[in-house]
Amino acid sequence: MNSPSDGHAGRQPGIAAATLAALGIVFGDIGTSPLYAFRECFAQHGSSPTPLTQLNLVGAASLIVWSLILVVSVKYVLMILRLDNRGEGGILALSALIRSGARRLGGKDPKAVLILGLAGSSLIYADGMITPSISVLSAVEGLSVSAPTLAHYVVPLAVIILIGMFAIQRHGTGRVGILFGPIVLLWFFTLGALGLRGIIAHPEVLMALTPSSGITFLVREWQHAFPLLAAVFLSVTGGEALYADLGHFGTRPIRVGWFSLVLPGLVLNYLGQAALLSYEPEALHAPFFLLAPEALRFPLTILATAAAAIASQALISGAFSLTTQAVQLGCLPRVKIRYTSEHSAGQVYVPAVNRFLMVACIVLVITFKSSAALAGAYGIAIILTMTITSFLFYSAARTAWGWSTAKAGSVTAVFLLFELPFLAANSLKILHGGWLPLVVAGAAMGLMMTWLWGRARLYKRLSREALPVAALLADLKRGSIHRVHGTAVYMSGRGDTVPTALLHNLKHNQVLHEKVVLLHVHTLDQPRVDRTEPAEHFDLGEGVHRVTLNFGFADTPDVPDALKNRLGDAVKFNPGKATYFLGRETYGVGKNASALDRIRLALFAIMARNASPATAYFRLPPGRVVELGAQITL
């Protein structure tokens, strides 16, 4: 499969600028893991901590280095990034790619793939709450090393930084990335320089570059294996964000940034921390900051705080992209979405998601108060997302790349060989804070499943009582319906039935425009469609036209513009003179509904009432829209 990401990247100002912007968005999360990951490997877990010996330090560094190589470099950067859905990444885009591939090959639409995609996207939302909180807290905690008298200001400062960080999201990831890029560039150079300083002092830590050091460490410290693996996994958190943010920058800038700067900086720093602790074990409480000379620790704290604020950007941007895809795929109600770039359609800002994540992060910081306390809640959502991605990779390799069952299964098995132990280790955290992201993800998943279920139930209900278009055409042919000048556009389903809004217009106004467009907006399992692609148009006679407009799940559905440009001369459509009829339904619960259905229908009704108006979502001119209400019993 040839990735179209090169074309995507070509719309950016250039590879150097795109890579710099990607540094400021994509790599911040994984780039701040050195603040706490190595420390947690030897923190107090259960009855006794892992012994802080030189062999163990080298072994822990080896596990981290090879986790970065195998999980992030091989799986995500070299393999998963190739599975872009026409430039878009993320777990929902991956599931859409699989479903479209399966249908193209003549198979059934794999509903289980959509469920896995929804589960993975729900976990991203949960991760988007914890990542900013732990990253900012761990950085500001550097004050306890560089300026102990300011240690009691850690939580208030973290809250202020989080508020500022979420406040600038409206400017878009491209501008934010260019602003943050130079800071992150300096950060990774600093990581490498600090690590190199420790390695020069104790070069024996270079033995960590051999995988045997990590394996023998696990065997030797088998009684601490699960806590160790859970801590080691913290070093690769953020790897999943590389894929979620693919649509913002494209594959090439991410790969260039990772292999040229990010991976070398991370490896050097982890080896440097191992070297420091081998001769100064009392530095365990803050090995990252104590790698620096005393005079540079306060400036390092300021840089780490800036980098930690930036680190949150990867998951926040990923949450925006996932929300946009979910809305277009019909998995969430319409929300306000702002497109923030003229160059990349993948750069979006979702105000509602931004507000939710900001409040959630502030609450977490105030509640947990330290990065060590938050570490218990961190990791489980990310490893579940990575595991789900591995299972989806198998289906994607089969449908998109045409791989054999054996080849796809073998590669997937290799991925799971490393991820399932991480999953087992992180499952021990569930009782110690890991339940929190699972509850959040479960709530998000429940909302999406309820919306899908409610839409299906509504469609079934409307289809059962709908009037066939043929009956309407027969009445028009007999002249029993009065016609008036102008064009009316009615939003319609794909079936051959009359839209509810049209029936209500006939009932109340007893007239019909001389030109009627029954419009169906269809979202494809691909990010974007060619704007010059003609609309599907059928002249049904009697001035009635059936039109289908196709949009990608990352497109902005501008209906008037699409009707004007895609219909050509077939209908002679003038969007400024047409009238758009929309239905505004309120929902009642039928007498025979079960208690569970009543709860789900009530939740569906709340979501429907709070959805963004179709007028704004489809970019309809407000002065040309007529809304007709209807009470529907489900």
Of 450, 485, 509, at which residue does a domain stop?
450
For residue 76, name the pLDDT band (cuts at 50, 70, 90).
very high
Distance set, CA 138 to CA 33, 365, 560 (Å) = 9, 11, 50
pLDDT for the residue numbered 2? 38
Does residue 17 sit within a domain? yes
321 and 181: one domain?
yes
> 534: left (phi > 0), else alpha (psi -120 to 50), else beta?
beta
Q: What is the pLDDT of residues 239-250, one digit of tens each?
A: 887 887 787 678
pLDDT for the residue numbered 455? 84
Least confident of 378-392, 575-589, 597-611: 575-589
Secondary structure of 14-72 in HEC code, one letter for each residue: CHHHHHHHHHHHCCHHHHCHHHCHHHHHCCCCCCCCCCCCHHHHHHHHHHHHHHHHHHH
Residue 71 pLDDT greater than 90, yes or no:
yes
Q: What is the pLDDT of residues 325-357, one digit of tens each?
A: 788 778 888 888 776 655 555 567 888 888 999
Does residue 433 sit within a domain? yes
Does residue 385 sit within a domain? yes
Please tell me which residue, 120 or 61, carries the higher pLDDT value.
Answer: 61
Does residue 460 sit within a domain? no
CB 317 within 8 A of CB 125: no
Of 450, 481, 496, at which residue does a domain stop?
450
Q: What is the pLDDT of residues 515-534, one digit of tens each?
A: 899 998 887 767 678 877 88
Does residue 346 sit within a domain? yes
Does residue 224 sit within a domain? yes
Of 425, 450, 475, at which residue does a domain stop?
450
Domain count for the chain: 2
Residue 272 pLDDT greater than 80, yes or no:
yes
374 and 496: one domain?
no
- Strand order, beta sheet including 511-523: 536-541, 544-551, 511-523, 482-491, 579-588, 625-633
Report, as an integer, the average pLDDT of 414-437.
Answer: 90
319 and 202: one domain?
yes
446 and 513: one domain?
no
Q: Among the ranges 53-57, 181-185, 311-315, which has the highest mean pLDDT value?
A: 53-57
Q: What is the pLDDT of residues 486-510, one digit of tens each?
A: 889 998 876 678 888 888 888 888 8
585 and 517: one domain?
yes
Q: How far apart are CA 539 and CA 529, in angstroms?
A: 24
Expressed as residue numbers, the domain containing 94 is 5-450
For CA atoms 357, 363, 366, 369, give the dihedral sign. negative
pLDDT for the residue numbered 208? 94
CB 565 within 8 A of CB 531: yes
Q: What is the pLDDT of residues 101-144, one digit of tens each?
A: 777 766 665 778 888 888 988 988 888 888 888 878 887 887 77
Residue 607 pLDDT greater than 50, yes or no:
yes
402 and 500: one domain?
no
pLDDT for the residue numbered 47? 54
Look over the chain and give the mean of its residue pLDDT values, rounded to a whole number.
84
Does residue 439 sit within a domain? yes
Residue 69 pLDDT greater than 80, yes or no:
yes
pLDDT for the residue numbered 109? 57
Longest Cα–Cα distance of the chain, Å, equals 96
374 and 490: one domain?
no
pTM of the model: 0.77
529 and 424: one domain?
no
397 and 367: one domain?
yes
518 and 414: one domain?
no
Supply the CATH number for residue 103's domain. Answer: 1.20.1740.10
58 and 108: one domain?
yes
Report, as an integer, the average pLDDT of 456-479.
Answer: 82
Q: What is the pLDDT of residues 1-26, one digit of tens each?
A: 333 334 343 344 478 877 887 787 78
CB 503 within 8 A of CB 492: no
Does residue 517 sit within a domain? yes
326 and 366: one domain?
yes
Report, as an integer, the average pLDDT of 596-607.
Answer: 86
354-388 b/e (C-beta count within 10 Å ≥ 16 → b)? beebbebbbebbeebeebbebbbbbbbbbbbbbbb
